[in-house]
Structure 1
Amino acid sequence: MERAPQSYPLFGGALSAALPHNTVDTSKLREIPDNQEVFAHTHTDQSLIVELVEYQTQVADQDAVRYHFEDIAGSNKASEPGAVQVTDVVPLSQPELGLSECSSAWMLSGTQCVSKFNEEAKNSVTLHLALLRLPQFSTDVLISFNDPQSISPHSSSAASAGTQSEPWTLQDFRHMVQTLTLHDPGLFGEMNS
């Protein structure tokens, strides 16, 4: 019998979302920036990141999620030809979101060929992004689901790649995005100060 995802407090309880099964809060293992909440699957190399980023006023709503995808690709040094590909960008319907304060929401799916911890070995990762725009708080909420598709045998991720465990699904990610709820708008004042 599958357990229902539990609502989990984010950013000290200012936000919450339903996290999928087999989730470890990475902040219990290593230091995480104040503007991020990072979760890892206990048996696969999948991860989920909730990040509060600066609202990009110069980028139109429909282009903003692609802007963040390309920014992540730059951070991941996935700049080789063919290393980055966007496969889908769709708007998310406001009524199905728990974060009613957002002015628009977008979801992107794509792939990046990246290395972990600056290793030489490259892994092919499907990246699903959800972007919830909050211009009134000068903030974008960016939720990332990193889902490795092929892992180099020379990567530090190779040890967990062969583990047989129920991985997270796109449906798990969508449920997390849909249940993201704001409890304390003061969070955004703290992030912008």
Structure 2
Amino acid sequence: MKNQNFVRNLVGTAILAALVLALQLLLGSLKLGPFNITLTLVPIILGAVLYGPLSAAFLGGLFGFLVCISVISGNDAGGFMLFSQKPVITLALCMIKSTAAGYLSGLVARSLSKKNATLSLFLAAGIAPVVNTGIFILGLLLFFQDTLVLWANGQDKVIDFLLFSILGINFTTEFLVNLVLVPVLARILRNLRFVKQELAV
């Protein structure tokens, strides 16, 4: 039984990893301002709900690695600007925020799945963008204050920029997309027998 579960988790994680690759490389980002709104958190959250924190951390790390490539290549304009100033910190920030988002989402899903499967799914879907965006904002405030002031068009507008641009547009869009798509996809996967019955809504 353990071997069967291991194989199921491995195959499921591999399928979601392929989805992460497809979304990020082909159609995973929508351009709004200097940043990209990503759809790639969706398979990461599904990994968290279906297969646990380690699977989700791996998927988040894969996402972070792909973002690093996008940043280095200049495809992500905002990220490239940060990379040109502090490359190591920028790449570390890309990896940490997505990996942590997956892992913490998985912890939440695992801890609540047996008590309330529906609640665990929605909380996992919500916490991933919170962690992802929260770590990014923290990184900006700690290491890229001058760039943040430039993007905000002045020191006195930094708070407005964070609230209405990063949080108001980027975060809100990603948050709502995850809350809508994850439960729907979880139900589809349940019907396809990729997930145990109690984990779906």
Q: So what's the TM-score if we normalise by structure 1?
A: 0.35
Pick the structure with more strand per residue. 1
Of the two structures, which has the highest relative contact order with CA contacts closer than 8 Å and spacing of 6 or more? 1
| Structure (1 or 2) with the greater helix fraction | 2
State TM-score, norm by structure 2. 0.34
